[in-house]
Amino acid sequence: MVHTSIQSVQAALADGSTTTVAIVRNYLDAIAEQAHLNIYVEVYAEEAIREAIRQDEARTQGAKMGKLAGVVLSIKDVICYAGHGVSAGSRILEEFVSPYTATALQRLLDEGVIVIGRTNCDEFAMGSGNENSFYGPTRNAADVTRVPGGSSGGAAVSVQAATCLIAMGSSTGGSVRQPASFCGIYGFKPTYGRISRHGVIAYGSSFDQIGYLANNADDIALALEISAGADAYDATAPNKIVATYSKQAVETGPQSIAYFADLMESESLAPEIRNAMQATLERFRAAGHRLVPVTFSFFDYVVPAYYVLTTAEASSNLSRFDGMRYGHRSSEATDLVETYTKSRTEGFGTEVQRRILLGTFVLSSGYYDAYYGKAQKVRRLIRDQLQGILDAHDFILMPVSPSLPWPIGEQTDDPVANYLADIYTVLANLAGLPAIAVPLKAEGGLPVGYQLMADHWEEGKLLSFVRGL
Ligand code: GLN
């Protein structure tokens, strides 16, 4: 039997109807059977089984088990795990082995989580279709000719294809919600700072957050409460109280839900998504919630501001990959400057090079004020206007993506088309807000979802609402 929630796994382990070894073996079989999906960069078969045996023995001896005992996790290839490779989907880090473990992952490990492998992703998390990976694209299990979304594409399919129970991903501009939605599962990013970024390979540090992809919001709530909270290694993770989100009462009372009415009419929205959004609005209305149309003046500036700011941060973050300290070093170089240029030219893919160039340009003297400085101001305006909406309402309801999963290869030559498709997800990252993608039952077609956003630090309220749906 394939378990689709932490609760059902743990109930089955507690009543002896399964063992941890059986669970892990099932997942390993599923990975082998679905190798064509290209979900994993590396599978930790032996050590996962070893840990499962250890947990089964401990359980038999009556030991107190961790809150995540028997829970099998995949980690995106940007999460550091001591003694294991981590490459950010890039040739430049192909051989790199992490000397330490990300704080959030360590907290899950301390509660007994079993890591089954690291998942494919867009190179340095830059992309929306998982097509920018050095390891080739991951395929959507709902239709193998289509993308699973990105950049946490492997993470989304790892859950969709039942090769693990829950996946740890990262979001800079939508990389958890968008692939989750493309694959028909839940995807959640917390408030900026809620989870430590220590041990996540940096892309845009003022945007990056760890997030979870799972079959339900209860599993996300539990993973969040265990991994969130202050960390001495990340000054942006403040000492805010972390609630036991998974045990909070579900929220069933009427909520005030804002939505962008103009957006529902937008021509760029795929008809299936527009219909799904309309149906969701109606359903919420029928359930007694107050649905309030609101306006947002900055939609035209959201994607440009995001790409100016994140490429600027990326150009700085990725300067450490210079062929000298770690990662790929060109064997063709004969002096220092050549070592830098050839190592980076060989090591980085096209999209990453494009973004480093863009980011270097917007930060260069003479252009800084016109681009980077201006984008920072736009970010503030976006944040303030969203804050105004969330001061008056409980949640904002939006699509996750304007498009359905596209055929693999269709958009690879058109970076701008890819960037524009990020319009609905980058908002939460620009403003640092928590947001969740909720799947809708697809009627035969491709998966569709919707998105709910809440105020800063209100992930308890957001998850309680979604858990109660
Ligand atoms: N698609 C967006 C980008 O390419 C978001 C990626 C992310 O969240 N890591 O930047």
**Tokens 């979604």 correspond to what residue?**
466
* The token pair that represents 107 in the structure block: 């907290």
Q: What are phi and psi of 294, to 5 degrees?
A: -130, 165
34 vs 27: CA distance, rounded Å: 11
Determine, yes or no, domain membership for 293: no
Cα distances (Å, whole numbers) of residue 308 to 377, 388, 453: 12, 24, 23
**What's CA 110's distance to the chain center, in Å?**
22
Contact between 198 and 103 (Cβ < 8 Å): yes
Specify whether 67 is catalytic.
Answer: no
Check residue 312 and give its pLDDT: 97
Atom of ligand 1 minimally distant from the CA of 425: 5
Residue 338 lies in a domain: no
Q: How many domains does the chain have?
A: 1
CA distance 189 to 206: 14
Higher-pLDDT residue of 166 and 324 is: 166
Q: Find the 175 Cα to ligand 1 centroid distance in Å.
A: 5
Q: Establish if 23 belongs to a structural domain.
A: yes
* Active-site annotation holder among 90, 152, 175, 196: 175
Ligand 1 centroid–CA 419 distance in Å is 8
Which of 79, 119, 122 to mutate to test ligand 1, by most ligand atoms within 8 A of the CB atom? 122
CA of 92 to the centre of ligand 1 (A): 19
pLDDT at 456: 98
- Residue 314, domain member (yes or no): no
User: Active-site residue 175, yes or no?
Assistant: yes
- What residue ranges line ligand 1, CB within 6 angstroms? 125-128, 151, 171-175, 203, 310, 422
Q: Is 465 inside any structural domain?
A: no
Distance CA 371, CA 364 (A): 10
Domain that holds residue 237: 6-247
Q: Return the pLDDT at 413.
A: 79
* Å from CA of 130 to ligand 1 middle: 10
Among 168, 210, 252, 260, residue whose Cα is nearest residue 450:
260
**C-alpha of residue 340 to centroid of ligand 1, in Å:** 26
Burial tier of 83 (Cβ tally within 10 Å: 0-12, 13-18, 19+): exposed
Q: With CA atoms as reference, report the closest residue to 91 among 125, 150, 39, 135.
A: 135
The Cα 70–Cα 12 span in angstroms is: 10
CB 450 within 8 A of CB 397: yes
Q: What pLDDT score was predicted for residue 264?
A: 84
Contact 103, 29 (CB under 8 A): no
Which member of 74, 128, 151, 315 is catalytic? Answer: 151
Dist. CA 244 → ligand 1 center (Å): 29
Given 74, 76, 87, 152, which residue is catalytic?
76
Pairing outcome for strands 448-453 and 435-440:
antiparallel
Please name which of 134, 176, 179 lies closest in space to residue 38, comparing C-alpha atoms: 134
- Tell me how far the alpha carbon of residue 51 lies from the centroid of ligand 1, in angstroms: 33
Please report the atom of ligand 1 found closest to the CA of residue 125. 9
Pocket test for ligand 1, best of 79, 124, 126, 308 (most atoms within 8 A of CB): 126
What pLDDT is stored for residue 442 in this prediction? 67
- Is 76 assigned a catalytic role? yes
In ligand 1, the atom with minimum distance to the C-alpha of 307 is 10
Residue 318 to residue 201: CA distance in whole angstroms: 10
Q: What are phi and psi of 180, to 5 degrees?
A: -60, -45
- Average pLDDT of the chain? 96
pLDDT in tens, 130-149: 999 999 999 999 999 999 99
Residue among 128, 132, 206, 451 whose CB has most ligand 1 atoms within 8 A, to mutate: 128
For 203-244, how does the pLDDT look when each residue is reduced to its tens digit (9 = 90+)? Answer: 999 999 999 999 999 999 999 999 999 999 999 999 999 999
Which of 420, 415, 304 is closest to 362 using CA atoms? 304
Tell me whether residue 12 is exposed, middle or buried, using C-beta atoms within 10 angstroms of its C-beta: 0 to 12, 13 to 18, 19 or more: middle
Residue 126 in any domain: the answer is yes
**Closest by CA position to 72, among listed 106, 43, 19, 112:** 112
d(CA 330, CA 272) in angstroms, rounded, equals 48
For 378-396, what is each residue's pLDDT tens digit?
Answer: 999 999 999 999 999 999 9
Least confident of 109-113, 394-398, 443-447, 465-469: 443-447
Residue 261 lies in a domain: no
Residue 231: the pLDDT is 97
First to last CA, the chain: 25
Q: Would residue 131 count as lying in a domain?
A: yes
Cβ within 8 Å of residue 290, ≥6 positions away: 254, 255, 256, 257
pTM for the full model?
A: 0.97
- pLDDT tens per residue across span 248-300: 999 889 999 999 998 888 888 999 999 999 999 999 999 999 999 999 999 99
* Interatomic CA distance for residues 440 and 280, integer angstroms: 9
CATH number of the domain to which 64 belongs: 3.90.1300.10
Residue pLDDT, tens place only, 406-432: 999 987 778 888 898 899 999 999 999
User: Does position 310 have pLDDT exceeding 80, yes or no?
Assistant: yes
Residue nearest ligand 1's atom 4 by CA: 127
